Amino acid sequence: MKVLARRLRPLLFHLRGGHSDKLDIYNNVVSRLSAEARVAWAAEIFGDKIVVSTSFGIQSPVMLHLVTSIIPEVPIVFVDTGYLFPETYQFAETLTKRLGLNLKTYNSIMTPARQEAMYGRLWEQGIEGLRKYSLINKVEPMDRALAELRGKIWLTGIRRSQSVSRQHLNFVSLQNQTFKLTPILDWSDEQVDEYLQTNKLPEHPLRQRGYVSVGDWHSTSVLTKDMTPEQTRFQGIKRECGLHEPTNIPGYRI
């Protein structure tokens, strides 16, 4: 961490000079760094105002290990919808103990039972139902976490190769006035697998059963030969769960 920070100081000097075109400046800096150095950069710039999100999915161990190796006490936000696979909850427990995570679990203000009583099964109600489901179960809890933890930058493990909707993302973006950093945005599946093996990280139990991406049990499918990885989520209607989409739209607050 200290070695990386020393290498970054010539660049950091210019970043602290003003606020104009900050996103362009940030992206110009981090695009030339390794994933580890991107995390160190965030620590140098934002100090203790960093928040990391995780879904405890198939590839989550990579980001969790990468970030906590550099910032051990960083808050890890786990948005628990109440609809995750039993194996995901067990995997979360395993990784939390293995990596000593500073885990912060956030849930919707409405229980799953209350949601279904009031609105029915939102995930079966097309794109608008999925949108409302995401706002209630994912977006609002994550927004609350960022506010309570005073996060100024949010680190996430999304990658360009995961979907068409992510291919043109920048390393640093601004979402609802919070900076978002994606340290492994340019990593391939092969790089992810190599990192998992090199660091002997545990594997999600559902990977061996054909799952390439794991979210809620009702909106996640096994990858078959006639599907793309993107189609394994939300019945192929959409890819993003809402956390990585802009939410400055009418009716956002619930």
Decide if pLDDT at 15 tops 90: no
pLDDT the model gives residue 105: 98
pTM of the predicted model as reported, rounded to 2 decimal places: 0.84
131 vs 6: which has the higher pLDDT: 131
Domain range for 89: 2-236
Tens of pLDDT, residues 78-124: 999 999 999 999 999 999 999 999 999 999 999 999 999 999 999 99
Q: What is the mean pLDDT of residues 118-137?
A: 93
- Is residue 251 a part of any domain in this protein? no
Helices (H), the chain: 2-15, 22-30, 35-46, 60-70, 86-99, 112-119, 126-134, 140-148, 189-198
CATH number of the domain at 127, please: 3.40.50.620
Tens of pLDDT, residues 48-82: 999 999 999 999 999 999 999 999 999 999 999 99
195 vs 226: which has the higher pLDDT: 195
- Is residue 226 a part of any domain in this protein? yes
- Is residue 117 a part of any domain in this protein? yes
Catalytic site positions: 241
Number of domains in the chain: 1
Tens of pLDDT, residues 138-157: 999 999 999 999 999 999 99
Beta bridge partners of 99: none
Torsion (CA) 174, 180, 186, 192 in degrees, nearest 10 = -160
Beta bridge partners of 153: 50, 179
- Is residue 228 a part of any domain in this protein? yes
- Is residue 222 a part of any domain in this protein? yes
- Is residue 243 a part of any domain in this protein? no
- Distance separating alpha carbons of residues 113 and 81, to the nearest angstrom: 12
Tens of pLDDT, residues 164-188: 766 778 889 888 889 999 999 999 9
Decide if pLDDT at 17 tops 70: no
- Distance separating alpha carbons of residues 125 and 142, to the nearest angstrom: 23
224 Cβ partners below 8 Å, 6+ apart?
210
Q: What is the mean pLDDT of residues 16-35?
A: 78
- Is residue 49 a part of any domain in this protein? yes
**3-class SS shares of the chain: helix, strand, coil, % to 5:** 50, 10, 40
- Distance separating alpha carbons of residues 146 and 125, to the nearest angstrom: 29
- Distance separating alpha carbons of residues 54 and 59, to the nearest angstrom: 10
40 Cβ partners below 8 Å, 6+ apart?
1, 4, 5, 8, 70
**Residue carrying the six token digits 């030969």:** 225
| Cβ contact 79:243 at 8 Å | yes
Tens of pLDDT, residues 197-218: 999 999 999 988 888 888 899 9
